[in-house]
Amino acid sequence: MTESTENMTKNTTEENIKMDKPEQKEAKQSRGRPVDKDKQVEQKQKLLKVAAELLSEKSYKSVTIRELGDRAGVNSAMIRYYFENKEGLFTALLSQMSSEHFEKMQSLTKSDDPIKDFIRFMLQMLNQNSGLARIIHDEILAEESALKAAFLERFPKRMATFLPNLIEQQIQQKKFRDDINPKYAAFSLMGLIVTPFMAAPIREEAWKISADELKEPQWVEHLYRTFMYGYSRENR
């Protein structure tokens, strides 16, 4: 091959590469991290939404990075970019849910009947977010779990402050007996609310209490009366 031919071939190859680069770059950006900040926020929210959906369908351990990316329509490598790993994604999900729910619960302190409203709120939250009950069953009760510490910090430990204070408020307003321990009472109330979700197989197969029954106003009233019978001043 002559020198002139080699130069022509080299120039043609370089031109083809230059023509391909913008298209390759565009394709790479569409599959990967977008430059636009709003698009980045959108991708993160898609991943968080899908994480919540998958958690309601299966255990945390069985959810895969590829599955998360495919369902969200996002390159799975973005999970590492935004959250470092799968654990980071689900920890971010727990943080988001915790912030949203505890912010809403603050309004209960101004309710005329905060205990009944709290029971109603918690049942609604658990019914709408079955993944939380799954985390408690699969991860929190396990000896070793990547999400255990994250969940305890964002839900039980915050609840262990909020609910005793709410009950103490009722004691100060003379609605509850003044000889009760707010922390013990709060723990008992949480047991009444959460146990039917954690023990779903026993509840459904042995006691024949369906998941739909936990959504009914009658279940709210049942838990409310059960709790109030032991702590209300009227039953002293």
Q: DSSP labels for 50-111?
A: HHHHHHHHS-GGG--HHHHHHHHTS-THHHHHHHSSHHHHHHHHHHHHHHHHHHHHGGGGG-
Q: How far apart are alpha carbons 170 and 172 in whole angstroms?
A: 5
How many domains does one find in the chain? 1
Instruction: Indicate whether 56 belongs to any domain.
Output: no
Task: Inform me whether the pLDDT recorded for 220 exceeds 60.
Answer: yes
Asked if residues 93 and 172 have their Cβ atoms less than 8 Å apart, the reply is: no
Strand partners, 223: none
Domain membership flag for residue 131: yes
User: 25-29, 55-59, 70-74: which has the minimum mean pLDDT?
Assistant: 25-29
Q: Is residue 61 part of a domain?
A: no
**Residue 23: what pLDDT?**
43
Let me know if residue 227 belongs to a domain.
yes
Tokens standing for residue 160:
């262990």
Q: What is the CATH number of the domain that holds 137?
A: 1.10.357.10
CB 78 within 8 Å of CB 33: yes
Q: What's the pTM value of the predicted model, to 2 decimals? A: 0.80
20: in domain: no
Residue 236 has pLDDT above 50, yes or no: yes
pLDDT reading at 79 higher than 50: yes
Predicted confidence band of residue 5 (pLDDT cuts 50, 70, 90): low
pLDDT at residue 13, as a whole number: 47
How many angstroms separate the CA atoms of 76 and 71, rounded?
10
Tokens of 35: 């430059």
Q: Is residue 171 a part of any domain in this protein?
A: yes
pLDDT at 29 over 70: no
Question: Does residue 23 or residue 109 have the better pLDDT?
Answer: 109
For 112, the domain range is 94-236
Digit-coded pLDDT (tens) for 121-148: 999 999 999 888 888 888 877 767 778 8
pLDDT (average), residues 172-191: 96
- Residue bearing tokens 């949480």: 190
Q: Is residue 182 part of a domain?
A: yes
Alpha-helical segments (H) within 106-231: 114-128, 130-135, 148-154, 156-172, 182-198, 200-205, 217-231
Q: What is the mean pLDDT of residues 205-225?
A: 97
Q: State the angle between helix axes of 114-128 and 182-198 in degrees (0 to 180), rounded to the nearest 10.
A: 30
Contacts of 129 (CB under 8 A, 6+ apart): 52, 56, 97
Residues in the chain: 236
108 domain-assigned: yes
If you average pLDDT over residues 59-87, what whole number do you get?
94
